[in-house]
A and B are shown apart, each in its own frame.
Chain A
Amino acid sequence: MEIMNELLEKYFRGETSVDEETELKQYFKSGNVSSELKIYSSLFEVFDSEINEKANKPLIKVIQNQRKQKRIWIRTFAYTGIAASLTLLLFLKFPFQVDNYAVVSGNKIEDTEFAEKYVEKKLNHVKDMLNKSMTPMNDSFENLRKDLRPMNKLINVKVKMDELQNLIQIKK
């Protein structure tokens, strides 16, 4: 007990080491404290209880914030990658737009007149193909028009009926 008393005096003078303070804390925690020193038990109990105080609220927000930022970064990288790939693809697909030449069947063509004629020929070919593919549709429209002709007659009948009704009313 005498030792603890001396240690406590040393503690209040601020001269104890961390180990000596741990010894004091354990002594007061043991419950086997002399009546003379019992008055200081609550002091060490306070220190013991305060170490359990925790910051719960802010951590959740920060961790969520970090995850959000991480997702934003991943998305940014993904979009940048896609954009870069598309740009590269366009560059490879249409190099003549950049360097003023065209590539036809693996051959580089720099003669503008020839390139224009070539493009016109290809466009005419596309036009022919379109016309051909439209022919069955045109035929279908024609057939539809033929099928609808009786309907026109019905409209004429309605007009005649109206005229007849008018005449009857006048006679009355």
Chain B
Amino acid sequence: MDSNQFNHLVIPLSDKFFRLAKSILCNGELAQDAVQDLIVKLWEKRDNLNEVENLHGFTMRAMRNLCLDIIRKRKDETELQTDMEYSELNPYQQTEQKDLIFRIKQMINNLPELQRTIIRMRDVEGLDLDEIAFITSLTENAVSVNLSRARQKIRERILNENRKVEEMQWK
């Protein structure tokens, strides 16, 4: 793969890499660095990329594996610092932070890595189950189960949050 092909086939996937990395790492800056690392690695091995049948799946899987490596290394050193941690609402947040969109993002980030990766690959990127299965190295059935669990959890959390807001309003 020459630089022209690389610019046309790999570089346009960078935004997808970034969203996947951000979903796994829960940190924008780390995700940017991870994308850069991946692109440099892919560039160095560009001669082998012509032989890859499913370039999208292959590169997305590489992005996920790279992010999991980062998490593993960071866990050895210190606990991974996320910039979007989910926490229970305190009274101040309840009054000041009624933005449900922000809360839902936190809820998704608080899911286990596999579930948040799968729900975003499906609901944000619109990928088919077989594509997600390829990227995550799971069976389609396992992907379907994880997707269902992730959505159910988000639903429960949204309902809980809504219940709390309603209780606050009644008080």
The chain A residues found within 8 Å of chain B, CB to CB, are: 11-15, 18, 21-22, 39-40, 42-43, 45-47, 49-51, 53-55, 57-59, 61-63, 65-66, 69-70
Contacts of B154 in A (CB 8 A): 43
A58–B32 CB distance below 8 A: yes
Q: Which of B11, B33, B104, B155 contacts A59 (CB 8 A)?
A: B11
CB distance from A50 to the nearest CB of B (A): 5
Listed by A's residue number, 27 A-B pairs whose Cβ atoms lie within 8 Å are A12-B148, A12-B151, A12-B152, A13-B148, A13-B151, A14-B149, A18-B126, A21-B122, A21-B126, A40-B158, A43-B154, A46-B108, A47-B124, A50-B105, A50-B124, A51-B124, A51-B125, A53-B18, A54-B18, A55-B18, A55-B32, A57-B32, A57-B36, A58-B35, A59-B14, A59-B39, A66-B6
CB distance from B21 to the nearest CB of A (A): 8
Given A61-B36, A66-B43, are A18 and B128 also a contact pair (CB < 8 Å)?
yes
Contacts of B128 in A (CB 8 A): 18
Q: Which of B18, B36, B100 contacts A42 (CB 8 A)?
A: B100
Task: Give the residues from 1 to 60 in chain B that come closer than 8 angstroms, CB to CB, to chain A.
Answer: 3, 6-7, 11, 14-15, 17-19, 22, 31-33, 35-36, 39-40, 43
Contacts of A47 in B (CB 8 A): 120, 123-124
CB distance from A165 to the nearest CB of B (A): 86
4 A-B pairs besides A43-B104, A43-B154, A46-B101 with CB distance below 8 A are A13-B151, A40-B155, A58-B14, A59-B39
Given A12-B151, A47-B123, are A62 and B22 also a contact pair (CB < 8 Å)?
no
Given A14-B148, A53-B18, A55-B15, are A63 and B7 also a contact pair (CB < 8 Å)?
yes
CB distance from A75 to the nearest CB of B (A): 16
